[in-house]
Chains A and B, each alone.
Chain A
Amino acid sequence: MDFEYFTQLFLGGLTRGSIYALIALGYTMVYGIIELINFAHGEIYMIGAFTGLIISSVLTMMGMPTLAVIVLAGMAAIIYSCSYGYTIEKIAYKPLRNAPRLSALISAIGMSLFLQNYVLLAQTSDFLPFPSLVPNFAFWEPYSHIISSAELMILLTTLIVMILLTLLIKFTKIGKAMRATSQDKVMASLLGINVDQVISATFVVGSATAAIGGILIASHIGQINFYMGFIAGIKAFVAAVLGGIGSIPGAVLGSFVLGWTESFFTGYISSDYEDVFAFIFLVVILIFRPSGILGRSQAQKV
């Protein structure tokens, strides 16, 4: 019994952590390259979920088979999220490239508000049911109440996305350009890297992970509304900082650690103070490792 209880909490924390991780990856990529807390990232995740829902409803009504609907709706969600990410960067952040950093932060907050209310006005303020995309099959009887197929799916997706992103950054040309840009923008442009393009690419990739997250999470919790991005975004951001912002494995690790912290605290102590404990834990970690678990401490330039 006790061990089973522990396992359930452990896996619950892992699922929760994967959810945070899918959003945190986008945060950490954008931060790594232009040092901007992209407050609107949570909204991209929300728009991904909305687009997925709208397109899948339309396709279902047109009588397409389920599998085709899932694939097409998923692709539409990713394409639209990427387009939104790209456009947001062009409108709200690019003109502020040389401005004080806090100005870009306020612009991001404004963008987040704008997008929330845009969806609220154009669609609805109500909660919408989101169909379960992953069929709830029993693959591991009699333990399927411990981890469901949907949860497993989220877990696997997170790991795959993380590995793909790491490969992208380590080995492709654009990945190398991203790393160069994040280290020194001026030097990178001197060496013939088109910095604007690299930044756009980062936003596009970050938005794609958010869209994948949006669809999977929405299908896991079964409902969406215009406000869903805000709270999830804040938590994901905390996770990214915990792991060391700018580092991709850090974002995933930070998310898992945060998920476990919350899960175990709820399970063994009380969910009343779940978030309080999570934040205290964050402070303690940062006191001992001021740049997160996997973050490199930067030498101060004199």
Chain B
Amino acid sequence: MKKMGKWLAVLTVSLFTLTVAGGALAADTIKLGVAGAHSGDLASYGLPTVNAAKLVVKKINESGGVLGKQIELLIEDDVCKPEVAGNTATKLVSDGANVVIGHICSGATKAALGIYKESKIITISPSATSPDLTLSGEYPNFFRTIAHDAVQAQVQAKYAMETLKIKTLAILHDKGDYGKGQAELAQKYFTEAGAKVVLFEGVTPGAVDYSAIVTKVNSKKPDLVIWGGYHPEASKIITLIRKKKMKTIFMGGDGIKDDTFIKVAGDFADGVYATGPMDISQNPLSIQAKKEHQDAYGSDPGAFYDNAYSATLAILNAIQKAGSTDYAAIIKALQTEDVETPLGKIKFNEKGDATGIGFSVYKIEKGAFVEQK
């Protein structure tokens, strides 16, 4: 019986969308899609975004909504796989989403953006950092509230060359979309800054042991090791590097700027550098957003929470200012209207990147990330 009910629901929903698609979109709510990894091994990067969107939308709905309309959330899982992301995007389009917060991973975002572009749906990602999503200019409907990887690599190169005064470096990555992309950008900017890359290699994620590659790094004696990828492999590698009594400086990107990295690597994490979004812990809106999360869920917010909170605020503000859910009007509003968010006062440039946000360098000291000025 229950099963039949579900099928009936599917049928009615499909029939409904069919009729709606034919006529004008006469909905009396604004539909905000939220897409990203909500299950699987990358769920911890996707779920905080859902929480952020829920909190912002709840607050705005209570104060009367946007343009007098209530906001409805459509939450869909893409497991960070491109082919699933395509299905997710189609589902959101079918369900009549007006704008979308997402996706979380760059690969999934690339697969989904084409679908949104054709349906003229604006997409704003809290965490997809692949540079060409905005720089290529192919996706006028794409915006993001996080700085892209090229900015990060520039920050790394500048800090390492000017403050740490390194001359040679080894670059390791996890062969993934995110990690390898970061590593290639690091190679580019470090070489431009005059450093010598003595080793550029990928390691197999999830392997049981990295002693061979660490031995190889050791034999090249670099001043610095740059890691492109997430924290699980990074903590294995740093542990081995320190166990082999190498003094090399270790630096990673926002993939390792995660408290789990410190927890897992323990004492070996001390002295590691990581780049991550600028410290915003003093921003009153950020403090408020954090408190809202603690009140609602009884825990501290997770990765990209502030970015997602800001993305939701920015897009809803743009709809308000645009006066409608018209595609061109929202884009114009996003690019011209400043909005106060937990990340600071932001608007978007013509490529789609937020202005006024960036990366800083952190150093792990006594089990905590400390921002380096």
Contact = CB atoms under 8 A, between A and B. Distances in A.
Check A-B contact in the complex, CB < 8 A.
yes
B266 interface: yes
B203 A271 contact: yes
Contacts of B243: 136, 145, 148
A227 B208 contact: no
B263 A267 contact: no
Interface stretch (B5-13, B124-132, B232-240): B232-240
Contacts of A223: 232, 235-236, 264
A184 interface: no
B211 interface: yes
Contact of A126 (B44, B204, B219, B236): B44
Nearest to A230: B206
Nearest to A14: B211
B215 A272 contact: no
Contacts of B202: 271-272
A95 B202 CA distance: 44
A232 B265 CA distance: 21
Nearest to B238: A222
A231 B266 CA distance: 24
A220 B208 CA distance: 9
A210 interface: no
Interface string B257-271: 000100111100000
Nearest to B175: A272
Nearest to B202: A272
B62 interface: no
Interface string B196-226: 0000011110111101110110110000000
Contacts of B218: 8
Interface in A227-274: 227-228, 230-232, 235, 262-264, 266-267, 270-272, 274
A50 interface: no
A203 to B, nearest CB: 23
A275 B204 contact: yes
A41 interface: no
Interface stretch (A15-23, A168-176, A193-201): A15-23
A12 B209 contact: yes
Contacts of A1: 219
A222 B236 contact: yes
B212 A12 contact: yes
A220 B201 CA distance: 23
A230 B206 CA distance: 9
A222 to B, nearest CB: 5
Given A271-B202, A271-B213, A16 B235 contact: no
A64 interface: no
A145 B219 CA distance: 13
Interface in A112-170: 125-129, 136, 145, 148, 151
Interface string A16-41: 10011000000000000000000000
B245 interface: yes
B193 interface: no
A15 B211 contact: yes
A15 B214 CA distance: 14
Interface size class of B (residues with CB under 8 A): 20 to 34
A225 interface: yes
B41 interface: yes
A221 interface: yes
Which of B43, B208, B232, B265 lies at the interface centre, i.e. has the most chain A CB atoms within 10 A of its CB? Answer: B208
A217 interface: yes
B236 A262 contact: no
A127 B260 contact: yes
A228 B208 CA distance: 9
A206 interface: no
A73 B227 CA distance: 34
Q: Quick one: which of A127, A129, A151 has the most chain B CB within 10 A?
A: A127
Given A125-B41, A129-B263, A271-B202, A263 B212 contact: yes
A16 B264 contact: no
B208 A270 contact: no
B244 interface: yes
B116 to A, nearest CB: 28
Interface in A264-293: 264, 266-267, 270-272, 274-275
A136 B243 CA distance: 9
A19 B216 contact: no
B212 A266 contact: yes
B212 A271 contact: yes
A223 B209 CA distance: 12
B206 to A, nearest CB: 4
A13 interface: yes
Contact of A20 (B208, B219, B266): B208
A19 B208 contact: yes
23 contacts: A5-B215, A9-B212, A12-B209, A12-B212, A12-B215, A15-B209, A16-B211, A125-B41, A127-B235, A129-B263, A145-B243, A145-B244, A148-B243, A222-B239, A228-B206, A230-B206, A262-B212, A263-B211, A271-B201, A271-B203, A271-B213, A272-B175, A272-B202
Interface of A: 1, 5, 8-9, 12-13, 15-16, 19-20, 125-129, 136, 145, 148, 151, 217, 220-223, 225, 227-228, 230-232, 235, 262-264, 266-267, 270-272, 274-275
Given A15-B209, A129-B264, 12 more contacts: A8-B211, A12-B209, A12-B212, A16-B211, A19-B209, A125-B43, A128-B264, A222-B235, A222-B266, A227-B206, A266-B216, A271-B213
